[in-house]
Amino acid sequence: MPLTMPEEILLLMLDDETGRLQERAAPSGDFAIAGAVLAELALAGRIDTDPNRLYVVNPAPTGDALQDRALAQIAAATDTQDSRHWIETLAADADEYREALFARLVSKGILKRVEGRFLWVFPERRYPVISDKEEREVKARIMGVLFNDEIPDPRDSMLIGLCRAGGLFSLLLSSNELDRVQARIDSVADLEELNRSLADAIREIYAQIARYAPMV
């Protein structure tokens, strides 16, 4: 069964050997997972976006528990909100989303769950990779889009936008490779309105964090 975009994003955030999330993927990775859930809902025809709002066009459940949870939240809102609002709202529950996604990937035989101790004291749960086939396929799809001039399908455009917004390309490409394809990343990602909204939302969120961060 094909992976969902939230599952793909989580795999790309994971250190294959240690089974821990890459430090460089946090905290923007939480927003990327939230954006991935919204992207799946958009592709399923359940939500749509414009520069000022994100709204439900079809409230029927998708059959995916995480997507349906988000869809129900959006449908139940009394006021129409923009993409930034829903990215922040879903990202606030990122721990729950991640654990549910990890459980799925374990059930599919892609990861294994390992309980242990960090520094011999603190309980820790890790998810080393058992099968890297799925992750290699995701990376190959992304690279196939970035290193040729064909117009990508909406799903790959959204995935590339999520990777850009989550700062994941620094984990996938060398600095020279990233410099080479940065313009291509931006042109592909900006094909989709949700990607533009996600990128703008994350920039605004980080600007606000920096504005109120204590001076050191």
pLDDT over threshold 70, residue 145: yes
- pTM equals 0.86
Segment 84-96 shows an average pLDDT of: 90
Q: Give residue 113's domain range.
A: 5-212
pLDDT over threshold 50, residue 215: no
Query: C-alpha 37: how far from its chain's center?
Result: 8
Give the pLDDT of residue 114: 83
Instruction: Find where tokens 């040729």 sit.
Output: 148
| Tokens linked to 119 | 């520094």
3-state secondary structure 95-153: HHHHHHHHHHHHHCCCECCEEEEECCCEEEEECCECCCHHHHHHHHHHHHHHCCCCCCC
Rounded Cα–Cα distance for residues 10 and 12 (Å): 5
pLDDT over threshold 50, residue 119: yes
What CATH number does residue 157 fall under? Answer: 1.10.3630.10
How many domains are contained in the chain?
1
Give the pLDDT of residue 105: 93
